[in-house]
Chain A
């Protein structure tokens, strides 16, 4: 059954894209909305059915080959799908959360003139995302990989008449492409090493290789470069905060719940390879930790509600990479799952606030919204508690699983992870208090229009809030008497679970430390923003040096501009104006001039009837004959 139904899952969103794409100007908005959401709902229901079929079948992997795509010499790349425990969960996340966000968008985008286009793009995104996680080889994965990048480009630049939005879209695409080159070269190396790019052929061969083999280290580093682009890790993360230019449902779906986790998915999928490369794992752990910390520091002082969430996403992705680096694949993937719940929830909640505030995103102009946006406030608070790692909400379990493994791997990384957890709790509660507590700080005109969002938007919030609250249940650790269902399920996808060697006392101590950190942060944020009613200073206002660095995002954009963009543009102008126009053209014109002058002279000699062309030909033949004659002689 799986064989015959699997291809329908990506086909449905593609169908939605085509129908809505063609009917975007003729269909009514409600028809477009229901087609767009309906196909995703159908894909979700199908994914649920497939999930249970896989679970009950006792099989671990089902592969479906559609057709032979690229074939040249010994290189064969079929367009084929692989359905296994890992892709089954990804399917549920993508279509499930995808459906909720489609539904929400019906309300959020209702006034927008590009409503039809928006739903078409959103469906196309789901299609490519499904291809990404269903591909049975690295190249099909790459179709999805770049396809979601395209949709991200289209949706970040959805309001393309604003030129900085269009620039943000371009930046995202280009930075992703830097990673994609790494991915592509990595795939070449995989093919040359294993003779195939099919997961089913690569991993069994790799399993028999020596750990630390140079070629595996190189492959995994190249793949990781790809992951850095897509999943916004240092040094390639600066596109993600800019990507907030897109409509908020896009931020929730693409730039929080699904696309940006593709890098983690890819590494988890290739866990066999990464386990053989301890050097790469160490690099991943360090980069992940550094990204988590830096993004959290930046988030501390941001005043745009979406920017806070964007840096928070980068930071949480950093956690996931830390998990991957220390070999806690399950923990990392668990965090992908819980993060998808609470971060989609937080973004949609922020969208609900922005919707109510008539596109105001600056928290300095908010405040006191608690009483007017009750559902939004309550659901977002659940999301905040979840991300802050306060038990028993979902983020606590996944984050602590990563931190416990990090503790075993390296105490310094763990300590930075713990510090980041503290910062996370602080900036999240800061965001909540600035937005919902205290007095309203916006214009009087806007205040009169503040209203809770329609049901089509609040219902998705409620569903996500429930998931964010209880999502941790699917992988309750042994220490709480759980059976780690997710870890067991993922064994079927070739992801070996990593047992903690810590005693239960140690585990409890670690958890206690992180819960304590979160609670202290909560208390501090409460004192500062509720009790003392502190409001961040205006853009030009006085800031301490550290706050300035944080507020200006470590000046990374400026640094990249100075060391990459500017020099390349200078080269561009130098090559064009000097090398092309002066050097090469100078030489050519020299030849041209002497030829013309020469033929003028010759024309005089030969009564003016022999053209330049003939002259050159005759000259050539003579020269040739002369050469032959000389070489014989």
Chain B
């Protein structure tokens, strides 16, 4: 029952918010997001960090098709639920400085999306998962199309084509699995005995959907354009939370269902992931727009996460768990900093900025901490994740590990370059009038910095949540692989 509260609270919030106007809509959205966070904390206190699925609900829904409203939370889901519900209030608070037209619709869509995301992260029925997937997608599509930048229509078309193509592939995969299992239940999918040929097809159907969402090279070209053109709130939702749908999808709906298919194609996926790290990092070197630079850096980071998943070791997957949270927190922080800058100076062009540290020391410190988290300095959240991920990849293959490891050098190059060009040096005519962060900006950035350091110094509680579930998943894959 707690789970239903978790899933439907944002939906109720969406309805309430859509009826309000202006500031009231903002406050209502924030209130519901905070309420969801409280519910999450409530769940956390009752959660036992073992491998079992907890708070499970299962109601018959469309019985003719074997569809049930079946959802529950294990350690892996818990991480993504925490991610969603911690970031949501921060993202909403970060949007407070903006006066969006039709604010009620804007905030209602965000809450609606939250429901969709939570459904994706807890669904244990294939059909329900798909409903959540689309429910999360439609609002973000509207957010980008209606509140985005000047190129939004063209860019959105690309985003739409990509994601629809992905959804289609996944739907095909799901229907195929249904036809085999005569049910959409995840356990029925797990119990299937597909031969390696069938598994290969299902693998690609799902993988392409998830790969587009994350995105993994070469399915990524919608991402930089969309991140750059979307309103910053949309960018934060996409990069902070939504791309984790793809990561979560791989872990929950790909690895344990078609382990043989994974095993057959693992080499290709690993190489694509690692190429993505290097490729996107290099592109980030010479980007002129800071938002686009961060977008490419996100592709590089996600490449490493993807490689960590397919390394299929406890360390790699635990690294994925930590890094999903860390990446979410850090990337939201980065985009927020850039939003603060662009809302004051109307530009994110690196060359036009400079010297902000002089006029905005508080922004300089918080931005630096976020950058350090992003480049995985020990003592920040980024290090824990990257260290485990790189170790996982290294164990899969030493050379891939070394090439993937270049991310710690390249990351420092493009991130510090951006920091230098934006914050250091002397002020110019444009940046001289910049004012330091205040009010809600301070709350958001201080919270993010605190999370970065606390998670980096004492990651144990987070890692403890998912460890048993990750172990269980790996055993499940191993057992099925033996059959």
Contacts and interface: CB of A to CB of B under 8 A. Distances in A.
A161 B390 CA distance: 36
Nearest to B393: A188
Nearest to A586: B221
Contact of A585 (B175, B221, B395, B402): B221
Interface string B163-186: 011001001100110010000000
B378 A147 contact: yes
Contacts of A580: 221, 224, 283
A35 to B, nearest CB: 19
B161 A595 contact: yes
Contacts of B157: 592
B221 A584 contact: yes
A621 B357 CA distance: 57
Contact of A161 (B164, B171, B313, B358): B358
Contact of A72 (B220, B412, B417, B463): B463
A589 B287 CA distance: 23
B459 interface: yes
Contacts of B388: 70, 72, 75
Which among B168, B224, B315, B412 has the greatest number of chain A C-beta atoms within 10 A?
B412
Given A150-B372, A184-B408, A573-B286, A166 B425 contact: yes
A573 B287 CA distance: 9
Interface centre among B157, B355, B409, B471 (most CB of A within 10 A): B409
B8 to A, nearest CB: 26
Interface string B69-99: 0000000000000000000000000000000
Contacts of B387: 70, 139, 184
B384 interface: yes
Nearest to A141: B378
Given A184-B390, A576-B283, A163 B424 contact: yes
B420 to A, nearest CB: 5
B424 A617 contact: no
Contact of A181 (B358, B377, B409): B409
Interface in A567-584: 568-569, 571-573, 575-576, 579-580, 584
Nearest to B282: A572
Given A180-B408, A620-B171, A73 B318 contact: yes
Interface in A587-633: 588-589, 591-592, 595, 612-613, 616-617, 620-621, 623-624, 628
Interface string B404-441: 01101100110011001001111000000000000000
B442 interface: no
Nearest to A167: B420
A230 interface: no
A17 interface: no
B416 A173 contact: yes
A43 B357 CA distance: 32
Contacts of A378: none
B364 to A, nearest CB: 9
Interface residues of A, number: 62
A71 interface: yes
Name the residue among B172, B284, B314, B426 with the largest chain A CB count within 10 angstroms.
B172
Nearest to A621: B175
A618 to B, nearest CB: 10
A296 B183 CA distance: 76
B416 A170 contact: yes
Contacts of A146: 377-378
A161 B283 contact: no
B390 A68 contact: no
B460 interface: yes
A177 B463 contact: no
A569 B424 contact: no
A466 interface: no
A571 B358 contact: no
B409 A174 contact: yes
A571 B378 CA distance: 30
Contact of A75 (B165, B315, B377, B402): B315
Contact of B408 (A75, A161, A181, A616): A181
A620 B175 CA distance: 10
A203 interface: no
Given A173-B412, A572-B285, A624 B172 contact: yes
Contacts of A69: 458-460
Contacts of B390: 184, 188
A157 B424 contact: yes
A568 B172 contact: no
B310 to A, nearest CB: 17
Interface in A163-218: 163, 166-167, 169-170, 173-174, 177-178, 180-181, 184-185, 188, 191-192
A165 to B, nearest CB: 8
B405 A185 contact: yes
B467 A72 contact: yes
B175 A624 contact: yes
Interface in B108-123: none
Contact of A617 (B171, B313, B377): B171
A177 B158 contact: no
Contacts of B175: 620-621, 624
A510 interface: no
B176 A617 contact: no
A499 B156 CA distance: 74
The listed residue with most B CB atoms (<10 A of its CB), out of A67, A74, A575, is: A575
Contacts of B408: 177, 180-181, 184
Contacts of A620: 168, 171-172, 175
B216 to A, nearest CB: 12
Contacts of A286: none
B126 interface: no
Contacts of B220: 584
A224 interface: no
B204 interface: no
Nearest to B286: A572
Interface in B217-235: 218, 220-222, 224
A46 to B, nearest CB: 23
Which has the most chain A C-beta neighbours within 10 Å: B175, B176, B221, B426? Answer: B221
A505 B147 CA distance: 86
B282 A163 contact: no
B378 A143 contact: yes
B401 interface: yes
Nearest to A159: B424
A70 B462 CA distance: 11
Nearest to A142: B378
B416 A174 contact: yes
Nearest to A170: B416
B319 interface: yes
B127 interface: no
B425 A161 contact: yes
B51 to A, nearest CB: 14
Contacts of B377: 146-147, 150
Contact of A623 (B172, B222, B287, B417): B172
A89 B343 CA distance: 53
Interface string B137-172: 000000000000000000001100110110010011
A575 B220 CA distance: 13
Nearest to A178: B409
Contacts of B395: 188, 192
A163 B283 contact: no
A589 B176 CA distance: 28
A185 to B, nearest CB: 6
Nearest to B466: A72
A493 B124 CA distance: 56
15 contacts: A67-B458, A71-B460, A71-B463, A72-B388, A72-B463, A73-B318, A139-B378, A160-B425, A161-B426, A572-B283, A576-B287, A585-B158, A589-B158, A612-B164, A621-B171
Given A178-B409, A184-B387, 13 more contacts: A67-B458, A73-B313, A142-B378, A145-B378, A153-B416, A161-B358, A177-B409, A181-B402, A568-B282, A569-B285, A572-B283, A576-B287, A620-B172
The 6 closest A-B pairs by CB, nearest first: A73-B314, A72-B318, A166-B424, A143-B378, A160-B424, A572-B285
